Structure 1
Amino acid sequence: MTERLAVTDKAKALIQELVTKHGDLMFYQAGGCCEGTQPQCFEKGTFFPRMNDACIGLAEGFEFWVDRDLFEYWQHAHFTLDVLDGFGPGGFSLETPLGKTFKVHYRMFTEEELADLAPVQRNA
């Protein structure tokens, strides 16, 4: 089965640092203008996905949700969660005080991958 989400080693290390400080996490990638499409990291239970948003996989065991409209646009793409040094467009994400920004790199799935995609979970 083709996974929809991968996590770089650099992002894995930052996630572990955030888990140590904050406990369980969750990720949400919106499609709005103000926060751009930068993934945001929150303490689990402090942000709630909207109806019909899509959970595309787990980042180090934590749900990675995508805005329903953004998912419709990017449903044929693989997401790789990475991290960059610097302050991104969103200031609410847990990595911001550390001078880091989560970032997603996209690539289109191949025909073979599309035929065997992992299902998404929808928020009801």
Structure 2
Amino acid sequence: MEVKRLIATSEALAVIVKLKKENGELVFNQSGGCCDGTAPMCYAKSDFHVPSRNIKMGDVGGCEFYIDKDQFEYFRYSQIILDVKEEKAAFGNSFSLEIDLGYQFITKSRIFSDAEYNSLPKDQK
């Protein structure tokens, strides 16, 4: 059984492809609070330094995805699903790259079954 800690919807992957064409390599960071709360933020990799307290959740669409250490503890037993929604106005001051395309990345989650969690590699627990 292969289970991934992080996956993305086809809609989110399509937005990532567009952003990569415009910005090159990307990185995601979900800080756990700040301007945009707990929304995942997408940056040009060259423009973002990953905080040392953040944990790599995995890769999505060829991009590294990091999450705040405290949030990781909350999501330790969950699969994170990166999705996107149309967002024309409410988050117009976001620092995340997708906002200029009229979208906002969001995360959804689901709890792993015991078998799924136990099948994760040790370094992902």
* TM score, norm. by length of structure 1: 0.89
Q: Larger helix proportion, structure 1 or 2?
A: 2
The answer for the alignment partner of 1:54 in structure 2 is 55
Provide runs of 4+ in structure 1 moved above 2 Å.
Answer: 87-90
Question: Which shifted more, 76-85 or 42-51?
Answer: 42-51
- Equivalence map 1:56-95=2 (5 Å): 56-86=57-87, 87=89, 89=91, 91-95=94-98
Calculate the aligned-residue CA RMSD, in Å: 1.7
Q: Which runs of 5+ in 2 are unaligned?
A: none
Q: What corresponds to 2:104 in structure 1?
A: 101
Gaps of 5+ in 1: none
* 1:115 to 1:45, Cα distance in 2 relative to 1, 3 A: same
Which position in structure 2 is the counterpart of 1:38?
39
The C-alpha deviation readout for 1:15-61, integer Å capped at 9, x for no partner, is: 00000000000000110143211000000021122123111111111
Identity %: 37
Segment of structure 1 superposing worse, 50-59 or 102-111: 50-59
**Is residue 116 of structure 2 the alignment partner of residue 113 of structure 1?**
yes
Deviations 1:44-84 (A, max 9, x none): 02112212311111111110000111111111110000100
Q: Aligned pair in 2 of structure 1 residues 29, 88: CA closer, same or farther (>3 Å)?
A: farther
Question: What is the TM-score of this pair, normalised by structure 2?
Answer: 0.89
CA–CA distance in structure 2, aligned partners of residues 9 and 98 of structure 1: 16
Equivalent pairs counted in the alignment come to 121
